[in-house]
Structure 1
Amino acid sequence: MIDPHAGSFGEAADAYERGRPAYPHKALDWLLPGGEPRVLDLGAGTGKLSRQVRERGLDVVAVDPSDGMLAELRRVLPDVPAMLGSAESIPLPDNAVDVVLVAQAWHWVDPARALPEIARVLTPGGRLGLIWNVRDERSDWVRRLGAIIGSEPMDRSPRLDVAFETTSFEWTHTVAPDVLQDLVASRSRIILMPADERAAVLAQVRQLTATHPALLGRGSYELPYVTECARATLG
């Protein structure tokens, strides 16, 4: 991963693990081929996707450029091999896996350098799958949340001269107030703020949940997402 912001997440690995949602099962059904493929979770973070792949009974190995994120992954998923590396330098041998999944991380990647590495570790005819959870700001309170925390520009196109199929899935994630705070605190833009500015943003989020009619007096909130997916066969 090449963007300097990508290395910031380790500073908030615990908040990332508590606050970030998993992925809808239908998205994984679409991304994963049938049978028992060996899976690489590339840019694995704290293992949100690795956990779901492992729950399907599949072999998965996790790679991430952050020591802090990998430490949290190893804590929550001690049976999943976890290695330091990046999309441009994957610490696996040739033909090691049948599927490479990149969750919430492809926008950090240099695709020109990453594609040959991904193709190298994939078996012939292996699959590359990309997935992002994107807040659905058609909801008023979610749009106001985005205005508070900032909607970071993100290129979610594959940026590769490869034939990708794409689809998306709408769903909702139930979050408690403290989980919403962790979700905000785990964003790279917020992590890199000075402490006083970060505290001011989190205070605005608390104000939103205390005053917005859709959230006022509720012990949990339904946060809508659109999960965007892309898949391609390589080799």
Structure 2
Amino acid sequence: MTHADRFLGRAGVYASARPTYPAALGQWLAGQGLLSGRVADVGAGTGLFTRLLLAQGSGSAFAVDAVEPNPEMRAQLETALEAEVAGGRLRVHAGTSEATSLASASVSLITAAQAAHWFDPPPTVREFRRVLRPDGQVLLVWNDWRGVDPGLDGAGFNAAYREVVTAFSREDGELISRVPERELPRLMPGGFEVQTFDNPVSLSRERLRALAGSVSYLPSPDDSGFAAVGRQLDAAFDAHASDGHVTLTYRTHAYLGRL
């Protein structure tokens, strides 16, 4: 199974349940002057981060090339952002980090949100060097609910969610959810800076179930094993809900670097 195949059948729940990204991150990128040229959003999935780029990008030279290998996710992205495609601000490509299909020296920024842990570093760096213009930069972003201080106001549900995920994980989700910071030089050998943003997400019972269904190392929603996951999620939800919602507290980690 390829990395892209891990998400077959999950595109709908992914688009509806995964957290978006803080507006402050987009504002920071725009303030750095990084969203005035062409951007490649690699591993764009259903377009959650693509939306942030399009919301903050400006200028006649700005546009986004969204690169995604999974056909179901690509279809979700194209449908949701149909107007941006029609207006010429967005082009959607079938491709991977190792073979983007983009022209050489065609973009000034490459982004990968919730995706770079699936990349093979050596061929990815070669491809990114080919696609980037001189002085271009790379931005790797992850939303992560792990590692958030459980004593942080509003983070009480994180521990309950972790218990359910740990009980049903088919792999060690902590190891495959993002690249450890110590290993990032393999993807950004020219060095990088770090920005973090708080990103609490309010979840209804239905969205919580969909969120779990979007996770590649848990049973998929059409898997017979997902019913047990749902029962445990419901119990955790009932124990922590207020006004019909729980809060899963994420932290958004952004790494801006060079090759």
Farther-moved stretch of structure 1 (186-195 vs 105-114): 186-195
What is the CA deviation profile of residues 180-225 of structure 1, one whole-angstrom value per residue up to 9, with x for unaligned ones? 1111110001245982212211221011111x1x31x522222211
TM alignment of 1:129-140, pairs within 5 A:
129-135=139-145, 136=148, 138=150, 139-140=155-156
- How far residue 166 of structure 1 moved from its aligned partner, in angstroms, is 1.4
Residue 10 of structure 1 deviates from its aligned partner by 3.0
Change (3 A) 1:5 1:149: farther
Aligned with 1:102 (options 97, 112, 119): 112
8 Å CA contact 1:5–1:188 kept in 2: the answer is: no
CA distance in 1, matches of 2:194, 2:50: 21
* Structure 1 unaligned spans of 5+: none
Number of the residue aligned with 1:111 = 121
Tell me by how many angstroms 1:65 deviates.
1.2
Match of 1:177 among 205, 211, 214: 205
Deviation at residue 19 of structure 1 after TM alignment: 0.3
Give the corresponding residue for 1:226: 251
Under a length normalisation based on structure 1, what TM-score does the superposition of the two structures give?
0.89
Aligned length: 229
Give the Cα separation in 2 of the matches to 1:6 and 1:92. 19
* RMSD (CA atoms): 2.0
Whole-Å separation in 2 of the counterparts to 1:137 and 1:122: 37
Q: 8 Å contact 2:17–2:210 — kept in the other structure?
A: yes
Please give the secondary structure, in 2, of the residue aligned with 1:131. strand
* Identity across the alignment (%): 29
Equivalence map 1:176-195=2 (5 Å): 176-191=204-219, 195=223
CA shift, 1:21, in A, is: 1.0
Alignment correspondent of 1:209: 237
Query: Does the CA-based 8 Å contact 1:39-1:97 persist in structure 2?
Result: yes
1:22/1:49 contact within 8 Å kept? yes
- In the superposition, the TM-score normalised over structure 2's length comes to 0.82
State whether structure 2 residue 184 is matched by structure 1 residue 168. no
CA distance in 2, matches of 1:201, 1:41: 32
In 2, Cα distance between equivalents of 1:140 and 1:50:
30
CA contact (8 A) 1:93 1:121 kept: yes
Please give the per-residue CA displacement for 1:39-89, whole angstroms capped at 9, x wherever unaligned. 111000000011111122441110011011101111101213111110001
SS in 2 for 1:4: coil
Residue aligning to 1:44: 44
Unaligned runs of 5+ in 2: 167-171
Superposition misfits of 4+ residues, deviation over 6 angstroms: none
Is the deviation greater in 18-27 or in 192-201?
Answer: 192-201
- Cα deviation code 1:4-31 (max 9, x no counterpart): 3442213110100000111112223344
CA 1:86–1:5: 2 relative to 1, 3 Å: closer
Q: Distance in 1 between matches of 2:256 and 2:219?
A: 31
Paired residue for 2:169?
none
Higher RCO, 1 or 2 (CA under 8 Å, sep at least 6)?
1
